[in-house]
A and B are shown apart, each in its own frame.
Chain A
Amino acid sequence: MTEVTGKALNLTLCRTCGFQCELQARCPRCHARLHLRFRHSIQRTWALLLAALILYVPANVYPITVLTYLGQTSGDTIMSGVIALAKSGMLPIALLVFAASIFIPFLKITGMMLILLSIHFRWKLSANNRLLLHRFISSIGHWSILDLFVISIMAALMNLGNLATFIAGPASTAFAAVVVLSVWAAESFDPRLIWDLK
C-alpha cells in the first residue's frame, strides 16, 4: 500500500481548531495561522528540554521539604524522602513517589531527547515505537506534580506553630519548573516529524 500523507496532498490540520483544509495563510474556520508542521517544533522542544534538564539537578540536590518538629529542623531531598518511606515499611508508596518524582521526569527528558536525536541523525528506529514513546510521555507527564500536591497537603495538616511545621524547601521551585517545562516540551513536539523521514 502506498502511503499518501497530508503533506503530499498539501492538506493540513489547523493546530487550534483541528479544521482540515488546503495549506493557506489562515484557517478558514478559526483564523489561526496555518502550517504543515508546528513552527520551530524541534528548536522549541530542545530549548524547553535543556532548561528542564538543568533544573533537574537542583531539584534533586537541594531539600524539597523542610520539617521542624519540636524545635529540630531537618530537610529531605526527593531521594532521601523516598528512602525514608521505604525504610518505614511503605514500599508501594515509596515506589509511587519514586516513579512520579524521579523516574518519570528523567524518562520524559531522556525519552524526548532520544526522539529528537533520532530525527536529527536519521537513526533507523521504528517510527511506531517512537510515537508510542511520545504518547506515553505526553500522557504521563502531569503525574510528576504529585509530590508537590503531597507537600501542600502535609503543609496544611502539619501547621502547629512551634510544635511542628512542614513546608516546601528550596528544591521545590526547581522541581515545579521541571514538571511544567517538560510537559511543554512534549506538547511543542510535532509527532508527524517522526514519520516525515520515511
Chain B
Amino acid sequence: MACQRMICRECDLAVNACDLEAHHDAFCPRCNHRLKRGSYVSLQGLLALSVTGLLLLIPTLTEPLLSIRMLGQYTEASIVTGSVLIMEAGFPLVGLVVLACSIMIPGLVLFLVTVMLLLVQRGLPSALGCQLLKVYQWLHTWSLLEVYLISFFVTVFKMRDFAVISPGLGLVSLVILVVLELYITSELDRERLWRSFAPVGGRV
C-alpha cells in the first residue's frame, strides 16, 4: 500500500495518507476535513449525466413552472420572466443575481462539465481545459438550483390563500435537474481533471 504525505487544506496538518479502497475516504485527524476520496463515479457516467442535464435545460426553460389563476386571470411563470420584471422595475442588480444563480450559472456549469469531460477523453494536456476548470471552480458555488426549487414551495404556501396555483411540466424537469446538478458537482473529480489537463512530475 503506497502512502504519501498530504497537507490538510483546512488546518495545514501534514498527514500520512495511504491509498484507499473504493468507497473509503481519508479524513484529517485534527480537523476532520476530507483529505481524499477513494472513488468517484466514472467519467463516462458523469458525461452521460451532464449531457442529460443539458437536454433537461430545454423543458425547464420553455415549459411553465407554475401557473396561477387569480382575479379571473391566468398567468404562467417561467424562470426568466420574474428576473426581467425585477430588472425593469429599477433593480437591475437584483434581477441579475437572481437570473445568474437560478439558471445561467447552473446551465453554464453543466456546459463546462460536458466540455471538460470530452476534453479529458482525449487524454492530452489542454490549456483550454485549464481555463474552463478555473471558470468552473469560480462559478460552481453560485449554482443555486436547489435553493431555487425550495423557493417554489415557499411561494406556493405564501400564495395559496388568494390564488389557485398548479405546477407545470417545467417544475418536474427542474426537480430532476436539481438532483442531477447536485450529483454531478459532488462527483466531479477536479484533481483528476487538473492532472489530465496540466500534467507535471510526481508530487513532492
Contacts and interface: CB of A to CB of B under 8 A. Distances in A.
B176 interface: no
B10 to A, nearest CB: 5
B97 A148 contact: yes
Interface in A19-41: 19-22, 28-30
Contact of A156 (B5, B81, B161, B194): B81
Name, among B77, B89, B97, B141, the residue most crowded by chain A CB atoms within 10 Å (CB to CB).
Answer: B97
A29 B75 contact: no
B51 interface: no
B31 interface: yes
Given A142-B141, A145-B97, A159-B85, A153 B66 contact: yes
Interface string A67-100: 0000000000000000001001010010011000
Interface residues of B, number: 63
Interface residues of A, number: 65
Contacts of B70: 157-158, 160, 164
A132 to B, nearest CB: 9
B151 A146 contact: yes
A47 to B, nearest CB: 19
B102 interface: yes
Contacts of A142: 101, 141-142, 144, 147
Contacts of A172: 86, 91, 94
Contacts of B148: 149
A150 B134 CA distance: 31
Contacts of A21: 203-204
A90 B158 contact: yes
Interface stretch (B11-19, B40-48, B108-116): B11-19
Nearest to A14: B194
A9 B14 contact: yes
A96 B154 contact: yes
Given A20-B6, A22-B204, A157-B68, A5 B98 contact: no
Contact of A30 (B6, B77, B89, B130): B130
Contacts of A196: 12
Given A16-B134, A93-B157, A176-B97, A149 B75 contact: no
A32 to B, nearest CB: 9
Contacts of B97: 145, 148, 176, 179-180
A36 to B, nearest CB: 9
Interface string A160-185: 10011001100011011101100100
Contacts of A187: 141
A163 B93 contact: no
A75 B123 CA distance: 57
A18 B204 CA distance: 13
A195 B32 CA distance: 14
Contacts of B31: 127-128, 131, 195
B158 A11 contact: no
B14 A160 contact: no
A151 interface: yes
14 contacts: A5-B14, A6-B12, A6-B14, A9-B7, A11-B5, A142-B101, A145-B98, A145-B101, A148-B97, A155-B86, A156-B77, A157-B68, A157-B77, A195-B12
Given A5-B13, A183-B141, 8 more contacts: A145-B144, A149-B101, A149-B144, A149-B151, A151-B86, A172-B94, A179-B97, A195-B11
